[in-house]
Structure 1
Amino acid sequence: MMNKKDTKINRNDMLELTRRMTLSRNCFVRAAGAYIDDEGYIDDTFNVSFKNMSKHDQQVNLNLAKTIPFSKTNEQLKCYKFPEGDMAYDSIHKLLMALSQYGLKDDLLVQTLCEQLAEGICDTKDSSDKINRLQGQEFGIYIYHGIYDIPKKGSDHSEQWESEEIYSFLICVVAPVDKDYNAGTPKCGFIFPAFEERSAEPGKIDIFFEIPEYPDEGFLNRIIGQ
């Protein structure tokens, strides 16, 4: 089986992103996703502009989103390469490309992504040496669309006024929820496209697992097709 995990993540790249994930410097435009019941079906969905949230809800969602880039780089958060030629009309890769480019305003695309991720999670097989922490319980899939205007850096690595690139990206967080849809500790998620050398790398994705020794293989396989 081909190992598609082939690139080390630069911790400084992740920290650079998180500096734009505060109430005063918020890079997120929109949040969308779904709540999944204990049988793996969508129970409810949401799609809201970040600016229309209360400050409290903004902070709650910022804290959830930051879990992914703040996690242990190259341990909990690892970079994977998409297989070549996987841009079929129904591939996760193509779906993520569309959502990251155009934002989360298309409810059908968001729902399709949530359905596919939920199916992957529910397909994970338990065994004595694998721990599946989401199958059989209610959980939420939270997807955030961010836009980061990457500043140029001078020879002394100080940030300049000029923009170097616009990084349009998605952060996905999957976490168990209680009866009031309050999220618990995130169990898995991703950043797409990968942020590599301060630039978007659309052929790669950074995938997070709370316990890297026991990844949710259904979630991983659904994304990169291992």
Structure 2
Amino acid sequence: MNKKDISELRTRMSKSKCTFTRMSGCYVTSDKDILLHINETFLNLEDDEFDKYLAIAKKTLSGTLGNNLLELDFPLEEELTGGKQQFLMGLRESKLKNEELLETFYKLIIDNYDYVGNYLILVFHDVYDVISKTKDNFKLDESEEVHEYLICAICPVKLSKAGLGYLEDENKIGPRHRDWVVSPPDTGFVFPTFTDRSTDIHSTMFYTKSTAEPHRELIESVLGCPSKPTATEQKNTFQSIIKTAVNDSEQENKVYGDIQESLSLLAQEQSELLGSEDEQVVLTNESVREILQENFLPEEIVDKIETAYKENFAEEPPAVDYLLDKKVIAENNKLKAQKQLMEKVEVLEEQLEEAKNSTESSFDEEFDVILHIKPEKVDRIKEEFIDGKRCITIPIDEDEQIKVNGMTDLSFL
């Protein structure tokens, strides 16, 4: 699924366009006990409920592709009889009306979901008549195909915050009653995917609120798919590789910042060549070495980074966009600008000093001889009469240099 596919499904999640047929679910305690079941014809819900449940479903299709949203492919064995994909196919075909299948699905989640606390499992069923479009995106009236799919959302249920409030029955201010409140989804998935405006039963779109710690147990045990790292995890791994190889607290941030800037330039150059937002630039092993060498890193560090990169990203090299850290790039540019400014200030100070020295050493109408001598030598200057003439004598050590009227070659003396 690309951004357009996701946007097309999300756009339909409104009061006027929604075609959800059914919603089922259950409320689970921290002891893994089911307190209640939900089975509703979605379009019959009261407006207030309708909007809030719809917002939950919509949330599972939000966030960044490759980070909050991970497209997962089912292994072949999961598409055989008894596999997870086959089970989800059956659940979809039941239109959420088979209680036995639903109970099996709930139990599968409850047995594997690693979460401490109460939570709500919700499953939505939708049937979308996909209207065909021309190449220039103009809609036609006839339906090209029907996309039937499920949305599953798992929402933490937490106690509202403690506090004081107005107790109407007692007409006083007292401890507010604390309610169990359903939070936005912590995780969820859409099955099957809607790819190129068509149903793809061989993949699912997994949603995670936390990009640093996605629930891999659900990916592997509930969906039966191989786990895939989020963009945040890939970025953190890449940063760790760089800093471990550099192993210098003073230099590692600068090196990482310079590499981030190089990655940003690479992404920009390649995206201009590809000309499509959906085509991602992959950071190959060769590209890693080139970037490191461009930043003049020692060969020993280059080899360490390259080796660690191959080990961590052997199965699938990450997209360059996934490794970019905008905050680091901005900070690095800021530091570079400050450094350039400091260098300009130093040059100006040197020029001012030279101009000052030049002015002080130049002759004016009042004086015929002007000396510019370091303070520590002033007390060694003597006024003497030599051959009847008034002279100033200045002792010169062997390692000291002399400049007269801008000239250092005093052979004419």
TM-score range normalised by the length of the shorter chain: 0.7 to 0.9
1:152 aligns with 2:151: no
SS at structure 2 position matched to 1:157:
coil
Q: Return the alpha-carbon distance in structure 1 between the equivalents of residues 212 and 8 of structure 2.
A: 27
Report what 1:126 is aligned to. Answer: none
User: Using CA pairs below 8 Å that are at least 6 residues apart, which structure has the higher relative contact order?
Assistant: 1
1:54 aligns with 2:81: no
The match for 1:82 among 71, 74, 80 is: 74
Q: How many residues align?
A: 206
The match for 2:17 among 18, 22, 25 is: 25
Report what 2:32 is aligned to. Answer: 40
C-alpha contact 1:172 1:189 (8 A) present in aligned 2? yes
The one-letter code sitting in structure 2 at the alignment partner of 1:95 is: F
| Identity, % of aligned positions | 26
Q: Return the alpha-carbon distance in structure 2 between the equivalents of residues 51 and 177 of structure 1.
A: 24
The one-letter code sitting in structure 2 at the alignment partner of 1:145 is: H
SS at structure 2 position matched to 1:112:
helix
How do 1:207-222 and structure 2 match up within 5 A? 207-222=206-221
How much has 1:95 moved relative to structure 2?
A: 1.8
Report what 1:187 is aligned to. Answer: 186
Q: Return the alpha-carbon distance in structure 2 between the equivalents of residues 119 and 212 of structure 1.
A: 23
Report what 1:198 is aligned to. Answer: 197
Q: Return the alpha-carbon distance in structure 2 between the equivalents of residues 85 and 199 of structure 1.
A: 23
Q: Return the alpha-carbon distance in structure 1 between the equivalents of residues 79 and 37 of structure 2.
A: 26
CA deviation string 1:46-81 (max 9, x = no partner): 111012211111111110000011222221011001
Bigger radius of gyration: 2
Q: Return the alpha-carbon distance in structure 2 between the equivalents of residues 92 and 39 of structure 1.
A: 25
Unmatched tracts of structure 2, length 5 or more: 160-178, 227-413
- Cα RMSD (Å) of the superposition? 1.6
C-alpha contact 1:35 1:45 (8 A) present in aligned 2? yes
Report what 2:123 is aligned to. Answer: 143
The one-letter code sitting in structure 2 at the alignment partner of 1:170 is: L
TM-score under structure 2 normalisation?
A: 0.48
SS at structure 2 position matched to 1:147:
strand
How much has 1:181 moved relative to structure 2?
A: 5.7
How much has 1:157 moved relative to structure 2?
A: 1.1
The one-letter code sitting in structure 1 at the alignment partner of 2:224 is: I
SS at structure 2 position matched to 1:146:
strand
Report what 2:282 is aligned to. Answer: none
Deviates more, 1:10-19 or 1:87-96: 87-96
C-alpha contact 1:145 1:169 (8 A) present in aligned 2? yes
Unmatched tracts of structure 1, length 5 or more: 1-8, 123-134
